[in-house]
Structure 1
Amino acid sequence: MKMSKSKTRTLHCLWLFLLACLCSASLANNAKINFREKEKKVLDQILGQGKYDARIRPSGINGTGPAIVRINLFVRSIATISDIKMEYSVQLTFREQWLDERLKFDDFAGRLKYLTLTEANRVWMPDLFFSNEKEGHFHNIIMPNVYIRIFPNGSVLYSIRISLTLACPMNLKLYPLDRQVCSLRMASYGWTTADLVFLWKEGDPVQVVKNLHLPRFTLEKFLTDYCNSKTNTGEYSCLKVDLLFKREFSYYLIQIYIPCCMLVIVSWVSFWLDQGAVPARVSLGVTTLLTMATQTSGINASLPPVSYTKAIDVWTGVCLTFVFGALLEFALVNYASRSDMHRESIKKKRRDMEQASMDAASDLLDTDSNATFAMKPLVRHPGDPLALEKLRQCEVHMAPQKRPNCCRTWLSKFPTRSKRIDVISRITFPLVFALFNLVYWSTYLFRDEEEN
């Protein structure tokens, strides 16, 4: 009997505990329901029909002056930066916050932190627009990515996720060794500074996602500034963000600069080919010239047609000149080779004539030596071969002795002019190209952007 009484008491306690839990849960649920009912009542109280007019802007500080709207941005991604269109695409979370004292409400001892709305037309909104926007759209998957929070003191926070394509005027004089500044400008469309003023949020007004990755650029830094504009209708408040992008040079080094250097070096191979290998030298020069022209046209196709000279234009132009110069050098060598052959034929004929004259003179001397009364003439005829030989020897002895020149001594090893042109080209072309590289890289790598 005692054990049964104890069990009965235990069961009774358990039932009481469960009943208390159910009662507390129901009370909490009722409290939540009542709390949500209070939120509804607050919204009806501040935004009810005939109580709030979204067409009227809120008053400024202490009820006077322009409405102050503070802006901050979170850059989620930067998709593309187009050189030919001079634009860039960015996705960001845009936030603006202002004070509207008409929306003050009771927070029920701190239990009601803020009210959330999804319809922007329920409250007054600043007429902000992006002045350098080309295209833009909101995000509506799965629901519209927008909310409005109303705080007890009347502060309103508006947040939305948007994607924009913005104009970015570029200076391509140093392309592809350049840096570009792309701006994002926000301004009021209809309210002048007497009614509406935009300010950057204090602290950190612009945040950028940490793992931001761009294919051909690096975001070095960003700066916030003000850009108020004056027109015939008044002065309008404006904010701007300057994004400083540095172009990644490694891509252009591999795709443009190294291939151009290789084409120029390949064109020099013709200097080492035999002068008689006309088909090989012509085909090599024409092929490298056409390849270089194709490379240049491909580079220009990815850039806008600007009126000034770019750094890449200087590089491709000089490389094309070197390749074309190698082709002209072969034309000069071919002409010099034909001239050498013609000169050699003339010299050969002259030597044959002199040899024939000397043979005839020796035969005449042999005939005269047999005569006992033969006498040597006091004066020889100018056309006498012996007189010509003595005159030549005298000119050699009387000519002034020149100092030995190492270049002439070295070039004297190559008897023909065509061979000398090839040998000089083997040294001159690489030296001039190396000097050009030194001037080019020292000029454009250490050139200040502000000089442009």
Structure 2
Amino acid sequence: MDIRRPSCALIILLVLYFTHPTECIQNNGKINFREKEKQILDQILGPGRYDARIRPSGINGTGYAPTLVHVNMFLRSISKIDDYKMEYSVQLTFREQWLDERLKFNNLGGRLKYLTLTEANRVWMPDLFFSNEKEGHFHNIIMPNVYIRIFPNGNVLYSIRISLTLSCPMNLKLYPLDKQTCSLRMASYGWTTDDLVFLWKEGDPVQVVKNLHLPRFTLEKFLTDYCNSKTNTGEYSCLKVDLLFKREFSYYLIQIYIPCCMLVIVSWVSFWLDQGAVPARVSLGVTTLLTMATQSSGINASLPPVSYTKAIDVWTGVCLTFVFGALLEFALVNYASRSDMHRENMKKNKKDMVIDPQANIDAASDMMDTDSNTTFAMLARCEVHITRQKNCCRLWMSKFPTRSKRIDVISRITFPLVFALFNLIYWSTYLFRDEDEEK
């Protein structure tokens, strides 16, 4: 009996090996799941068993109902937002999930959670495309970043990593105090809503990486919505994600607004220079004017040519006007200075006029001089009395006898006040308009 027992056990093992070889390959009689996966894949995807050209049945296995595809995505990065080309680049992990009852299989009592494929052409795939895409590519380093998981109940999960450059029409009226909404649109190319419907996955369909960093924008929020489109060939299912970007103003404050303010203030230095310093005042005005024009052209070079006026156009235009006004002010001062000089020469010529001396006329002339001196003294006292009754502003202006000097003094006060008033109106208008549009 003891000799026969090992031979019977050996015979039983041989029978099990030839009848169920895949269950006896592993040590201790454990199942080789990799081999089992191969058998299941050959069984459900074998020739004559599955046709990838036919879409899955609809709800409850009815062939006339549309196939429901649930979509979700993970935004890995947003590399750039181009104002000139009106586009943005994004890298994302895109996922689709649908039910294909033809792919059901035995999960071996819960020990086989899913099957993995790397060839998308072996199963039916939704014909989704990105309608606002300009460029795009898959990632194939080191291996293609794509997989397909088939679950025991027939659910199919398709995941792929892609990089896209998408169109983003922008309204730049409030630039650079604006907010832009860029969309990512996905639609079916050939299947109508009678055959294929895209739905957002319940819960959290769009996820964004936590450490997302953009150089000149901040992603404030994102919204998911539907955008079904109707054409003469039918209605097509469509999904969209609206990404709301807020432009970071600190960059433009340092690079544009503060330099423009400095140029305007430098142009006011001309008001404090002597009227006779013609080369200094002319060179200062022309230099600031050319610098301001170069600054304005450099700003517009980075923006697309649009038919409306932007907020930055108003700012640079007014600053350029102030600089140009300072240059014109010197032209006016120079003209007034020459007029004052001509007037002084006329007065001097009148005082130098000499009448032929005669004895009787000299006596009369002396008497008239005495009377005129008395009259002049009385007029001077009256003038002092009247001057005391004038307001402080006119009293202060009376210290500058020439018109050219008065123009410079008035410009020293008027230009800064008007520029401060412009700043008050500019910032209050555009900041409040931005808040209204946000609501």
**Shorter-chain TM band:** 0.7 to 0.9
Cα offset, 1:367, TM superposition: 8.4
User: Would you say the 8 A contact 2:178–2:434 is kept in 1?
Assistant: no
Task: Pick closer, same or farther for the CA change 1:363–1:241 going to 2, 3 Å.
Answer: farther
Cα offset, 1:349, TM superposition: 1.5
- Tell me which residue corresponds to 2:396: 410
- Tell me which residue corresponds to 2:322: 322
Cα offset, 1:447, TM superposition: 1.2
User: Would you say the 8 A contact 1:361–1:385 is kept in 2?
Assistant: no
- Tell me which residue corresponds to 2:270: 270
Alignment of 1:123-202 (within 5 A): 123-202=123-202
**Aligned equivalents of 2:29 and 2:331: distance in 1?**
99
* Aligned-partner residue type, residue 446 of structure 1: F
* Aligned-partner residue type, residue 61 of structure 2: G
Matched, 1:38 2:36: yes
**Aligned equivalents of 2:87 and 2:288: distance in 1?**
35
Q: Extract unaligned runs of 5+ from structure 2.
A: 1-23
**Aligned equivalents of 2:73 and 2:38: distance in 1?**
31
- Tell me which residue corresponds to 1:441: 427
**Aligned equivalents of 1:240 and 1:266: distance in 2?**
51
* Aligned-partner residue type, residue 245 of structure 1: F
User: Would you say the 8 A contact 1:336–1:417 is kept in 2?
Assistant: yes
Q: Counterpart of 1:448 in 2: which secondary structure?
A: helix
Q: Counterpart of 1:339 in 2: which secondary structure?
A: helix
Match of 1:54 among 52, 55, 58: 52
Q: TM-score, normalised by structure 2?
A: 0.88
Alignment of 1:324-403 (within 5 A): 324-353=324-353, 356=354, 360=357, 364=361, 366=363
Cα offset, 1:450, TM superposition: 5.9
**Aligned equivalents of 1:276 and 1:368: distance in 2?**
40
* Aligned-partner residue type, residue 299 of structure 1: I
Q: Counterpart of 2:52 in 1: which secondary structure?
A: coil
Cα offset, 1:246, TM superposition: 0.6
User: Would you say the 8 A contact 2:150–2:156 is kept in 1?
Assistant: yes
Q: Work out which of the two has the higher radius of gyration on C-alpha atoms and give 1 or 2.
A: 1
- Tell me which residue corresponds to 1:423: 409
**Aligned equivalents of 2:137 and 2:247: distance in 1?**
28
User: Would you say the 8 A contact 2:26–2:32 is kept in 1?
Assistant: no
Task: Pick closer, same or farther for the CA change 1:49–1:299 going to 2, 3 Å.
Answer: same
- Tell me which residue corresponds to 2:232: 232
User: Would you say the 8 A contact 2:181–2:245 is kept in 1?
Assistant: yes
**Aligned equivalents of 1:247 and 1:362: distance in 2?**
91
- Tell me which residue corresponds to 1:19: none
**Aligned equivalents of 1:429 and 1:335: distance in 2?**
20
* Aligned-partner residue type, residue 212 of structure 1: L
**Aligned equivalents of 2:173 and 2:386: distance in 1?**
56
Matched, 1:93 2:93: yes
* Aligned-partner residue type, residue 364 of structure 1: I
Q: TM-score, normalised by structure 1?
A: 0.85
**Aligned equivalents of 1:368 and 1:449: distance in 2?**
80
- Tell me which residue corresponds to 2:207: 207
Task: Pick closer, same or farther for the CA change 1:43–1:451 going to 2, 3 Å.
Answer: closer
Cα offset, 1:409, TM superposition: 1.6
Question: Residue deviations 1:255-281, cap 9 Å, x none?
Answer: 111111110000000100000000000
Cα offset, 1:406, TM superposition: 2.5
Cα offset, 1:35, TM superposition: 2.6
* Aligned-partner residue type, residue 416 of structure 1: T
Give the paired residue count: 411
Question: Residue deviations 1:116-169, cap 9 Å, x none?
Answer: 000000000000000000000000000000000000000000000000000000
Q: Counterpart of 2:243 in 1: which secondary structure?
A: strand
Question: Residue deviations 1:258-308, cap 9 Å, x none?
Answer: 111110000000100000000000000000000001100100000000110
Question: Residue deviations 1:372-425, cap 9 Å, x none?
Answer: xxxx9xxxxxxx889999999999999997951332221110010000000000
Task: Pick closer, same or farther for the CA change 1:368–1:153 going to 2, 3 Å.
Answer: closer
Task: Pick closer, same or farther for the CA change 1:27–1:126 going to 2, 3 Å.
Answer: closer
Supply the RMSD in Å over aligned alpha carbons. 2.7
**Aligned equivalents of 2:226 and 2:220: distance in 1?**
21
Question: Residue deviations 1:208-246, cap 9 Å, x none?
Answer: 000000010010110000000011111100000000001
**Aligned equivalents of 2:224 and 2:374: distance in 1?**
94
Q: Counterpart of 1:436 in 2: which secondary structure?
A: helix
- Tell me which residue corresponds to 2:299: 299
User: Would you say the 8 A contact 1:139–1:161 is kept in 2?
Assistant: yes
User: Would you say the 8 A contact 1:224–1:242 is kept in 2?
Assistant: yes
Cα offset, 1:63, TM superposition: 1.9
Q: Counterpart of 1:447 in 2: which secondary structure?
A: helix
Of all paired residues, the percent bearing the same amino acid is: 82
**Aligned equivalents of 1:127 and 1:363: distance in 2?**
122
**Aligned equivalents of 1:41 and 1:368: distance in 2?**
138
Q: Extract unaligned runs of 5+ from structure 1.
A: 1-25, 370-375, 377-383
- Tell me which residue corresponds to 1:84: 84
Cα offset, 1:36, TM superposition: 2.3
